[in-house]
Structure 1
Amino acid sequence: MSFKHIVSRDNPVFKQLKKLADNSRERRNEGKTLLDGVHLIEAYLEAFNDAGIELIIIPEGQSSVEATGLIQSLEHIATIMLPTLMFAELTPVASATGILALVKIPQLAAPEQPAFALMLEAIQDPGNLGSMLRTAAAAGVETVYLSTSCTDAWSPKALRGGQGAQFVLPIVERADLIVELQNFCGNSYAATMQGESLYAQDLTQATAFVIGNEGAGLRKQTIAATTKPITIPMAKSALGSVESLNAGAAAAVCLFERRRQVLL
């Protein structure tokens, strides 16, 4: 296997990779991102084959058995090797997995009238966003809409949290949620601390759930644009009650309650 050995941070290839790892605007402008680890790269290959993979990046030293096997299967793709410390600058985890891939960001077409949608407003934590996308894919969501203030769905941390969800789930980024809610042909529900119980809703028709920022929740105007606000009933005890679920947990409960009703 042949590869180019890059040892300088001034190398233009490394500079480009570092920008893509660190900067959402660079990823958006270039239409590219970095996949970290065997699982993500294999998920990308399963969805798109290797047509969108432009470069393989490996560290000096010994890789895992899984990474070595994947590297060998992709030996026809241009490969570079980096010193361990430079490689670590490109990966979001403390323990490097042994392989990165530079890929084109896929563009999955969203249905014009999805029957099941998730709308996210101002989600800030990339790992949390990735986890919510993974939950959405598992629950059968057809389209996810991300507001302009949401974190980037294609950052290395969001991709790691999604575990391949971004490759199978149409994602509309920088969406105007008010407009999307006005155009949605079904019932839309704002997850809030007040409102009717989630479990009192008929979710067997076209349904959209709207989840807000981890701390601030949803804006009043966004809530007003939905069919109604709903809440997830929580247990109370002599010790008091938890004030609220986090955004990821709330999304999971709502999405799988809809799936449960549809499967009845």
Structure 2
Amino acid sequence: MKTITSRENPAYKEFKHLATSSQARRKAGRTLLDGVHLCEVYLDLRGLPQHCIVAESALAHPEVAALLARCEDGQAPVTMLPDALYNAISQVENGVGILFVIATPQAALPAALSVHCVLLDNLQDPGNVGSILRSAAAAGITQVFCGPGTAFCWSPKVLRAAMGAHFVLDIFENVDLAALVQTARIPVLATSGYASQSLYATNLNQPVAWILGHEGQGVSDELLNLATQRIAVPHLGQVESLNVAACAAVCFFEHLRQNQR
């Protein structure tokens, strides 16, 4: 285990740049996992990080100590920071005090839509994107395609909201969704509050591609016109529509329900 005590240390400056700049994370192809849960899930599902960073006060924490032992056993680099330096790079208030630096996973874009998947069209709220990833993983979906304008999936807020779902999904960003839809070998279902077809009257006994749209504007007209079908989630009351993350969860688990009968 190495120790860094100066803010001027080049490695520390690099850690801080990754922590505070989405552009830096994209350019470097690396991101940070903040907290015991995300680090543990990554170790379990993906293996060793590029670097483990720990706060001095966290060394005695039993869960942190267990993660450090796994990293050191695998010979992953570990750096300890005084709490003041660590807190300047952590994005979590009152966190336990452990971070992983990882290479952002990048899978090869498939030639066609052929398995149960989700397309995110200009979703801008990181909390919504993270919640959708979490629901997708829980419903057995394996692929998520993000169009331009969708929140960066490897940002701290999305990572926290998804609770480790990233590591059981193949996530593709900056995808031309219209071109992808035209390759589809499965039905493409676009959610719309104005659709006449109810989700619950739709036959979902096969893999489908779900299109979910911008929080205010919904799915773009281009993608609506390319979709196999437009569907709506029925709801009561005076609200105009469901939150997009809630809509996604209802759709995913209705698909799961129909396929478990």
1:144 corresponds to 2:144: yes
Q: Is the 1:7–1:83 contact (alpha carbons within 8 Å) kept by the matching residues of 2?
A: no
Residue 246 of structure 1: aligned partner? 243
4+ long deviations beyond 3 Å: 108-113
SS in structure 2 of the partner of residue 224 of structure 1: helix
Structure 1-normalised TM-score?
0.90
Shift of 1:73: 2.7
CA RMSD, aligned part only?
1.7
1:95 corresponds to 2:91: no
1:60 corresponds to 2:56: yes
Aligned counterparts of 1:182 and 1:106: Cα–Cα separation in 2? 26
Q: Is the 1:119–1:210 contact (alpha carbons within 8 Å) kept by the matching residues of 2?
A: yes
Aligned counterparts of 2:153 and 2:96: Cα–Cα separation in 1? 21
Structure 2-normalised TM-score?
0.91
Q: Is the 1:88–1:96 contact (alpha carbons within 8 Å) kept by the matching residues of 2?
A: no
Residue 164 of structure 2: aligned partner? 164
Following superposition of structure 1 onto structure 2, how do residues 216-235 of structure 1 map, counting pairs within 5 Å? 216-235=217-236
Aligned counterparts of 2:259 and 2:110: Cα–Cα separation in 1? 19
Aligned counterparts of 1:142 and 1:182: Cα–Cα separation in 2? 20
Q: Cα 1:215–1:90, aligned 2, differ >3 Å: closer, same or farther?
A: farther
2:36 to 13, 35, 38: 38
Q: Is the 1:111–1:143 contact (alpha carbons within 8 Å) kept by the matching residues of 2?
A: no
Residue 17 of structure 1: aligned partner? 15
Question: Gaps spanning 5+ residues in structure 2: where?
Answer: none
Percent of counterpart pairs with the same letter? Answer: 38
Aligned counterparts of 1:255 and 1:100: Cα–Cα separation in 2? 32
**Residues 209-254 of structure 1: per-residue CA shift (max 9 Å, x gap):** 1111122222211211111221110023xxxx22111110000001
Aligned counterparts of 2:119 and 2:183: Cα–Cα separation in 1? 13
Shift of 1:122: 1.3
* Count of residue pairs the alignment pairs up: 256
Question: Gaps spanning 5+ residues in structure 1: where?
Answer: none
Shift of 1:109: 4.8
Aligned counterparts of 1:121 and 1:242: Cα–Cα separation in 2? 22
